[in-house]
Amino acid sequence: MSLTPEQQAEIETLRASSAPTLRAVSAGMEAHLYKAYPVLDHGFIRVIDYMGDDAAICQAARVSYGKGTKSVQNDEGLIRYLMRHWHSTPFEMCEIKLHVKLPVFVARQWIRHRTANVNEYSARYSILDREFYIPAPEQLAAQSVVNNQGRGEALSGDEAARVLEYLKADSARAYDHYEAMISDEGQQGLARELARMNLPANIYTQWYWKVDLHNLLHFLRLRADAHAQYEIRVYADEICKVVADWVPAAYGAFEDYRMGGATLSGRALDVVKRMLKGEEVSQESSGMSKGEWREFQALLG
Amino acid sequence: MSLTPEQQAEIETLRASSAPTLRAVSAGMEAHLYKAYPVLDHGFIRVIDYMGDDAAICQAARVSYGKGTKSVQNDEGLIRYLMRHWHSTPFEMCEIKLHVKLPVFVARQWIRHRTANVNEYSARYSILDREFYIPAPEQLAAQSVVNNQGRGEALSGDEAARVLEYLKADSARAYDHYEAMISDEGQQGLARELARMNLPANIYTQWYWKVDLHNLLHFLRLRADAHAQYEIRVYADEICKVVADWVPAAYGAFEDYRMGGATLSGRALDVVKRMLKGEEVSQESSGMSKGEWREFQALLG
Amino acid sequence: MSLTPEQQAEIETLRASSAPTLRAVSAGMEAHLYKAYPVLDHGFIRVIDYMGDDAAICQAARVSYGKGTKSVQNDEGLIRYLMRHWHSTPFEMCEIKLHVKLPVFVARQWIRHRTANVNEYSARYSILDREFYIPAPEQLAAQSVVNNQGRGEALSGDEAARVLEYLKADSARAYDHYEAMISDEGQQGLARELARMNLPANIYTQWYWKVDLHNLLHFLRLRADAHAQYEIRVYADEICKVVADWVPAAYGAFEDYRMGGATLSGRALDVVKRMLKGEEVSQESSGMSKGEWREFQALLG
Amino acid sequence: MSLTPEQQAEIETLRASSAPTLRAVSAGMEAHLYKAYPVLDHGFIRVIDYMGDDAAICQAARVSYGKGTKSVQNDEGLIRYLMRHWHSTPFEMCEIKLHVKLPVFVARQWIRHRTANVNEYSARYSILDREFYIPAPEQLAAQSVVNNQGRGEALSGDEAARVLEYLKADSARAYDHYEAMISDEGQQGLARELARMNLPANIYTQWYWKVDLHNLLHFLRLRADAHAQYEIRVYADEICKVVADWVPAAYGAFEDYRMGGATLSGRALDVVKRMLKGEEVSQESSGMSKGEWREFQALLG
């Protein structure tokens, strides 16, 4: 991450000037506001704004006139109940706005979550910076030999060196030519909206991303999961830390019911009952496919 | 509107306790927070929370590190540009949360705007209050004789008196029976989720409604319009006042480009050009249907 | 359900005229098209149109040029995999359009599912029919004494008779007055958009409702569930039958992974593992609240 | 565009096998089904499926039991009325599913329209083809000197040649290295989800895109507009042709009220009225900014 001194000064200015508000304030969240938390080699997340806190979830669930909270303990019980029974609308009453800097190929995954508001830095109007994601050596993973969708061990030796060299050299050259094409010195200069097409998917972009808590938790469940691609998972992990301080009760319920929990199929549930009665169940007698059985074993392992 | 002393006390408590925040604060909006503004005979709107201000719109449009504002004047120019060119995403970066009390038949129109978050008071779990919308005499309008969709003059005399009597008596009786059915004194008591079906559409319900500024302005354009039903328009009008204080530049642009503006069809645009060249254009020579021509005349009248 | 002879004739006409198409055709669904399946005393569901079939889900998942299916068996395996791993976008590639007639209080629950397209019969412009939902005796349930949200036993004797009498008489009187108010015989006639407010929530309305398969299955999971209110559950049950014939593989996976399955929290999963190792676990040693423990026991019971 | 013989054969197979359906059939659309219409140098659009036709719009607007059409003329009048008064829900009752092949930088603009369903070819699991968008010489436009957002004249001479050489050589080299990195011959082979980051934004991707007619028309209004980037506009133009054959009345109304029409601000409307009364109005006396005045002049020019 490399903020210019000007950018750092702008952030400091915002953090220095507080004002009174009558709105719900989350002390845990105020401590995070505007700070840029580094992710990957040049990326970051920054909280720009937020609305609501744990009490606001209960206030909306009760459609109440006041804060909607009798005691912190009652609120936590209600929040756990709402999460357990998939009552999602009270969680939609909290909102967060993030400023994120991220490689384009990560942005392309991220944007598939449609229930959010986005303003992206426009390479049609503006000039992108010379910043590219180059994986750390331990993240230069081989294609998984088990399935089509995962990573295996990290590459090593000559192969790793060759890959790093390709990524660095190709990025640098693409950017050199991008600059050369848009330059208006001694030439007309190619339109920015065209020149950007030469830039590879590891270039960094940035956006403002605003989302309600329900949809954010759905995003985190999928993207902070072990099966998510590492490069988006590290963003999700960083956001998790912030959310844990913002709405501790909701985040605790999320950890228990979503991240730490599991969905059993009807077949799997039936097998669990048979096992609890002492029956030995095999893949053949389970009615599950091999893939399902393997996942089921991993779950109970 | 009839808030109980307890509800009023809860509101006062919230208004009395301010806390410092690093977030964007709209002074104009802070003055409105939690206050219940009366609408119709028992309804109200209250602002529960908000996110962002005029500067936040510009900050997102520029994907900037700081407040995103060089000067108030620059911000206003940018906001007008964004509004004129239908760049809607920066306006989505502001959010508002309202507590609204409204008749059920108004709620049924309102909910058709889907891009919003809603928590409604549940008549499945809770008991509704004995509060019904009874139109003021000047709002007891006759069916329009011009079209199927509007109101004519106010009813008068015996007819008006008879309608008022029906509305009042039927509401009261329906509520008496609702109470009698759910009572558990000397009987089992009908399930609330069933008993509610006896209540007419002029009973009041309430909800928390959260929406971003772009979608709110779209709602206001349709519902603060002269063609909207009076009973929802008065809610939209009241919300307009609040928005004008919250984001004055955005609201100003909205008034000019949306509320005060008009959409011309290609045919209408062509007729305007011909008229500006001095040609006399009639409905027949305009290429428009009679309905279109009538609306076109009204626009330029 | 009471279709007029004219309505029945219109339906027959549509069912009589088939035309060739190059699109994916689901034979199971064609048999249902336009037929009105009765629900409750006057309601129905009718399939008006559909897009896609099981093969279309696979075709989209593979972004393929042809039908996307090598064999029915492969398709079923892929569909089960997609469902198990919450890959929802391929299921969004199927769409259904229904015509539904339903009581207003059911419509108010239904509309909370926002990701759908709706055109409702407008009581602002048109006159509603004299049709009200009156529960069958066995559905006249008492309020549950266990929780706030459910039904107990059916009412009996005098209480049941009294409730039925209230519902019938109040509906009839409200409609009489509705008709009297809008009548233009010897008077001006109240605007329809006002007169409708006198009608209770058990009057029938109707709408066209269009939704993609992913969101439909989410709706069915919540509304065909045992905890859903009976009056909406019967609609969901009827839709389930149609979906089972439309996309048999997707519906089979839905039944196994969603309807017949269960979500375990992290705590519950931990308890299952301890029990499988032979440990006796009580509510106290489980770390669960009493409510969670009760639900957990019911699941494994 | 380059379909393999296998792909072409799959398409032919689908076009050869029609089946009877009871659903609404649009003859104009059937003629387009599955055909791949070329866009840019390697892209295309193909209609995979559709739901509804002009009559279906009217049927939903009337919530009718039959086809909802008395006569074609009545239907057209109703559709024009709905379009003029922004009644959007009946247009949502038609749906289209497209298979699109397009450069990644175009896909990134396209995906900002969130109300649609998308399945994209996954470079995380699969290997992308060696196909890149290289602009035709007349599209190698210079950056506009008038504003930040447009194109000027086409480049010429050495500059044009140099730009083409950069785009071609960088694409080819990036793909060579992509292949070299994922190869498992004599090495482990880099994970596909990582290797893709080396590919520039002019590489082609493809997706299934499904959208309702209302949202499609909104997309077309913005993307078939003269201010849209050429590379996405050519896709929108091609889709327009298909829509014109699918729902001719809706498309005609769209052309008149949206594409050929214009939105006047309150200030602009006021100026038009003054001009029609014979007044000479200048930018200074108009109350408009210079930018607004310029756009206003262009509109009436």
CATH number where D213 lies: 3.30.1360.170
Q: Token pair 């239904």 is at which residue? A: C110
C10 interface with B at CB cutoff 8 Å: no
**pLDDT tens profile B56-74:** 999 999 998 777 556 667 8
A217 CA: distance to closest CA in chain C (Å): 15
Q: How far is CA D20 from CA C17, C25, C31, in A?
A: 10, 8, 12
- Domain match, C114 and C43 both: yes
Question: What is the arithmetic mean of pLDDT over D105-113?
Answer: 96
**pLDDT for the residue C72:** 66
> How would residue D204 be classed by pLDDT, with cut points 50, 70 and 90?
very high
* The pLDDT value given to residue B136: 96
Residues of D marked as catalytic: 223
Q: Is C5 on the interface with D (CB under 8 A)?
A: no
- State whether residue B168 is helix, strand or coil: helix
% of chain B surpassing 70 pLDDT = 96
Same domain, B76 and B212: yes
Strand order in the sheet with D95-103: D37-39, D43-51, D95-103, D204-212, D117-120
The answer on pLDDT for C64 being more than 90 is: no
For A157-200, write each residue's pLDDT tens digit.
Answer: 999 999 999 999 999 999 999 999 999 999 999 999 999 999 99
Burial class (CB in 10 A: 0-12, 13-18, 19+), D81: middle
Q: Is 60 exceeded by the pLDDT of residue A12?
A: yes
User: What b/e readout covers C106-125, taking b as 16+ CB neighbours within 10 angstroms?
Assistant: bbbbbbebebbbbbbbbbee
Asked if B196 and B178 count as a contact pair (C-beta separation under 8 A), the reply is: yes
Residue A14 and residue A67 in one domain? yes
pLDDT number for residue D66: 74
CB contact under 8 A, D291 and B81: yes
Q: Is C113 found in the same domain as C68?
A: yes
Domain boundary among A226, A242, A259: A259
In a domain, A177, yes or no: no
- Note whether D53 and D66 are same-domain residues: yes
Question: Mean pLDDT over residues C89-103, rounded?
Answer: 98
Do C32 and C65 share a domain, yes or no?
yes
For residue C19, what are the contacts with CB-CB under 8 A and spacing of at least 6? D20, D21, D25
A117-120 and A204-212 strand pairing: antiparallel
Same domain, B197 and B219: no
* One-character DSSP codes across C122-141: -TTTSPPPS-B----GGG-E
* D90 chain-C contacts, CB cut-off 8 A: 119
Lowest-confidence region among B17-31, B139-153, C157-171, D258-272: B139-153
> Structural domain tally of chain D?
3
What are A97-128's pLDDT values in tens digits? Answer: 999 999 999 999 999 999 999 999 999 989 99
Domain of residue D191 covers 134-201
Asked if A201 and D199 come within 8 Å (Cβ–Cβ), the reply is yes
Above pLDDT 90, what percent of chain C? Answer: 85
* Last residue in a domain, options D201, D231, D249: D201
Residues of chain B with pLDDT > 90: what percent? Answer: 83
pLDDT value at position C2? Answer: 74
D299 has a chain B CB within 8 A of its CB: yes
* B223 among known catalytic residues: yes
Single-letter code of the amino acid located at D216: L
Please state, for a pLDDT cut of 90, what percent of chain D lies above it: 83
Looking at residue D264, its pLDDT comes to 93
Q: How confident is the model at residue C1 (pLDDT cuts 50, 70, 90)?
A: low
> What ipTM was reported for this prediction?
0.94
Quick one: pLDDT band at residue C254, thresholds 50, 70, 90? Answer: very high
**Residues present in chain B in total:** 301
Kindly tell me if the per-residue pLDDT of D234 is higher than 80: yes
Nearest to B300 among D77, D255, D276 (CB): D276
Q: What integer pLDDT is reported at residue B58 of this predicted model? A: 95
Same domain for C168 and C218, yes or no, is: no
* Angstroms from C276 CA to nearest CA on chain A: 6
Residues C112 and C231 occupy one common structural domain: yes
Q: How many CB atoms within 10 Å of residue A301?
A: 6
Q: Name every chain C residue with its beta carbon within 8 A of the beta carbon of A266.
A: 255-257, 259-261
Say how far residue B37 (Cα) sits from the centre of its chain.
Answer: 13
pLDDT > 90: percent of chain A: 84
Q: If phi over 0 gives left and psi between -120 and 50 gives alpha, with beta otherwise, what is residue B34? A: left
Active-site residue identified among C192, C223, C233, C294:
C223
Give pLDDT tens digits for D14-24: 899 899 999 99
Q: Each residue of C255-272: pLDDT tens digit?
A: 999 999 898 999 999 999
Residue A150 lies inside a defined structural domain of this protein: no
What is the pLDDT at residue B3? 86
Out of A22-26, B10-14, B32-36, least confident range:
B10-14
Question: Does residue A146 belong to any structural domain of this protein?
Answer: no
Kindly report whether the global pTM for this prediction surpasses the value 0.90: yes
CA distance D196 to D205: 12
Question: Is the domain of D250 the same as that of D272?
Answer: no
- The chain D residue lying nearest A148, using CA atoms, is D125
Task: List pLDDT tens digits, range C110-136.
Answer: 999 999 999 999 999 899 999 999 999
- Assign residue A81 a region (left: φ > 0; alpha: ψ between -120 and 50; beta: otherwise): alpha
Residue of C nearest to B114 (CA): C114
Q: B125: pLDDT confidence band, cut at 50, 70 and 90?
A: confident
Instruction: Sort strands C37-39 and C19-21 into parallel, antiparallel or unpaired.
Output: unpaired
Do D54 and D124 fall within a single domain?
A: yes
Average pLDDT in chain B: 94
pLDDT at D68: 55
Instruction: Name which of C7, C33, C50 is nearest D65 (Cβ-Cβ).
Output: C7
Same domain, C91 and C144: no
D92 touches chain B (CB under 8 A): no
